[in-house]
């Protein structure tokens, strides 16, 4: 069975407060990306086997895919051996939900492969135990996500938007971003105010703590907002991917070439569209 585990963007991410369990209460408008996805192949086999084309991806239970497999086995008692092949296309530490999407695909895939027939609500609840972003990937492609990430509501109707993604060589630690959120200060000269498009506002409350540590990302945001054809520019999740919503006629390749020349020649980049809701 071959599964596509697509990446996400947070079009808005509001942090409402810190909870007693250490997590943060969120309200986020999340959307899947069309065509940016990891590929996960799973089949019943004589023995468990895991392989991945990306170097350094662990094959033990520090990997969310393996955690998902173990949790599924514990919850269902189904112990079929499985052969797993993971092709990574979505960079990690990027705020694009790559690992979470893999885990969600794994839960959904195992449910089908083993004919366990668990309702999606059970899969979502299992996903939430593994990571805050996982429930989103088991729900609709455009969703408003609440709680610590486990409450999923169908999102507003959104057009498919053209986006350019720029990710520098470094990633950002999510726990670190949240830890800094409360005490973070705004950097002078950086504009954090919501950017209004026809369907609503783009804003990310984690920009403040993350930019304080990674000034370069603030520079990328400012730079993107000054470019022709850019309607809005924001960090996704806890970073380090910065994305721009661009108009239909914008020269995306030219934008990327200039970003590489003027900001960072080693950017990982992607041009495509969000999934319409």
Least spacing, CB of residue 26 vs ligand C5P, in Å: 5
Least spacing, CB of residue 230 vs ligand C5P, in Å: 29
Question: Has 249 been annotated as catalytic?
Answer: no
Which of 38, 102, 133, 205 is catalytic? The answer is 133
Determine, following the binding rule CB under 6 A, whether residue 118 of this chain makes contact with ligand C5P. no
Compare residues 209 and 277 and give the one whose CB is closer to ligand C5P: 209
Total of chain residues touching ligand C5P, rule CB under 6 A: 11
Look at the block and give the residue holding tokens 């000054």. Answer: 226
Look at the block and give the residue holding tokens 């971003």. Answer: 177
Least spacing, CB of residue 245 vs ligand C5P, in Å: 24
Compare residues 17 and 117 and give the one whose CB is closer to ligand C5P: 17
Q: Quote the CA–CA distance of 151 and 58 in Å, as a whole number.
A: 29
Determine, following the binding rule CB under 6 A, whether residue 24 of this chain makes contact with ligand C5P. yes
Q: Quote the CA–CA distance of 83 and 66 in Å, as a whole number.
A: 11
Span interacting with ligand C5P, options 171-179, 184-192, 201-209, 245-253, rule CB under 6 A: 171-179
Question: 221 near 201, Cβ under 8 Å?
Answer: no
Question: Has 191 been annotated as catalytic?
Answer: no
- Sign of the dihedral defined by the CA atoms of residues 141, 147, 153, 155, in that order: negative
Question: 217 near 235, Cβ under 8 Å?
Answer: yes
Q: Quote the CA–CA distance of 74 and 186 in Å, as a whole number.
A: 45
**12 carries a ligand binding annotation:** no
Question: 88 near 98, Cβ under 8 Å?
Answer: yes
Span interacting with ligand C5P, options 129-137, 155-163, 221-229, 251-259, rule CB under 6 A: 129-137
Determine, following the binding rule CB under 6 A, whether residue 17 of this chain makes contact with ligand C5P. no
Query: How does DSSP assign 117-155, residue by residue?
Result: ---HHHHHHHHHHH-TTTGGGGS-SEEEEEETTTEEEE-
Residue numbers at the binding site for ligand C5P (CB under 6 A): 23-24, 26, 131-133, 148-149, 174-175, 178
Catalytic sites, residue numbers: 8, 133
Residue stretches of the annotated binding site for ATP? 91-101
């Amino acid at each position: 069975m071959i599964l596509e585990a697509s990446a996400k963007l947070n079009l808005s991410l509001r942090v409402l407060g810190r909870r007693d369990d250490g997590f943060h209460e969120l309200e986020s408008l999340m959307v899947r990306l069309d065509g940016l996805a990891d590929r996960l192949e799973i089949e019943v086999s004589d023995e468990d086997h895991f392989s991945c084309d990306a170097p350094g991806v662990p094959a033990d239970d520090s990997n969310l895919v393996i955690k998902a497999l173990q949790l599924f086995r514990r919850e269902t008692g189904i112990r079929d051996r499985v052969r797993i092949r993971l092709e990574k296309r979505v960079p990690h530490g990027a705020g694009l939900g790559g690992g979470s999407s893999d885990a969600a695909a794994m839960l959904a895939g195992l449910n089908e492969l083993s004919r366990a027939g668990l309702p999606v609500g059970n899969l979502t609840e299992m996903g939430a135990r593994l990571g805050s972003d996982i429930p989103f990937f088991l729900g609709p492609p455009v969703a408003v996500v609440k709680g610590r990430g486990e409450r999923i509501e169908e999102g507003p109707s959104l057009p498919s938007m053209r986006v350019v993604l720029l990710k520098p060589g470094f990633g950002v630690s999510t726990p670190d971003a949240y830890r800094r959120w409360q005490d973070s200060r705004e950097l002078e000269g950086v504009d954090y105010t919501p950017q209004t498009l026809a369907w609503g506002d783009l804003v990310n409350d984690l920009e403040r703590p993350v930019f304080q540590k990674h000034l370069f990302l603030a520079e990328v945001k400012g730079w993107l907002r000054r470019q022709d054809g850019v309607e809005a520019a924001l960090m996704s999740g806890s970073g380090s991917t910065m994305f721009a919503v661009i108009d239909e006629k914008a020269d995306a390749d030219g934008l990327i070439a200039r970003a590489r020349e003027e900001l960072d020649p080693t950017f990982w980049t992607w041009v495509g569209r969000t999934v319409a809701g």
